[in-house]
Amino acid sequence: MTDFNVDISRITKKLPSGNILTEIWAEITDKTSLIKTKKRIWYEDENGVFHDESPKLPTEFRSEVDNAWISKSKIWNRRKK
């Protein structure tokens, strides 16, 4: 049983140049206190370089976020086909 619920979302931003950047966010809810925390876990910069922010997450919910991200990315990849 995990202590947190994690919801992963993908946000795209269109720059004035026309480039579209992607950010992945995790909303983490503590099941006991119901406190929600929103953290960016991955993003693409203006140069097309991808950055992984998940190592900066507090250790207590890093594995839950990783598992939720893997599950969500599989769903997104199936929709592309």
Q: What is the pLDDT of residues 22-77, one digit of tens each?
A: 999 999 999 999 999 999 999 998 888 999 998 898 888 888 899 998 999 888 88
CA distance to 18, 23, 30, 61, 77, per residue, from 12 (Å): 12, 6, 27, 25, 16
Whole-number pLDDT of residue 58: 87
pLDDT of residue 81: 60
- Separation in Å, CA 43 to CA 33, 34, 52: 29, 27, 7
Q: Any idea how long the chain is?
A: 81
Q: Which two tokens stand for residue 62?
A: 């890093």
pLDDT beyond 70 at 1? no
Q: Residue 78: its pLDDT value, please?
A: 84
Distance CA 3, CA 38 (A): 16
Q: Is the pTM of this model over 0.85?
A: no
| pLDDT in the model for residue 80 | 67
Q: Where are the domains of the chain?
A: 4-80
